[in-house]
Amino acid sequence: MPEGKTLHVFTIRDKNGKVTKTKEFYVGTRTGKITDQEGKKVKEMKL
């Protein structure tokens, strides 16, 4: 974890309220990752 950064986690839900993806990123940085609920698809992202 980058020093002094705050981790934000967003959950993305479908219309039934089921969580489909989890999006994490550090405040003040331009990097993060998106994970689907099966944990298979992890995408590092540059925002």
Pairing of strands 31-36, 19-26: antiparallel
- Tell if the pTM clears 0.85, that is, is over it: no
Per-residue confidence band for 2, with pLDDT thresholds at 50, 70 and 90: low
- pLDDT, one tens digit per residue, over 21-42 is 999 888 888 788 888 877 677 7
Is residue 46 within 8 Å of 34, Cβ to Cβ?
no
Tell me the three-class secondary structure of the chain, residue by residue.
CCCCCCEEEEEEECCCCCEEEEEEEECCCCEEEEEECCCCCEEEEEC
What the block records as the tokens of 35 is 């994970």
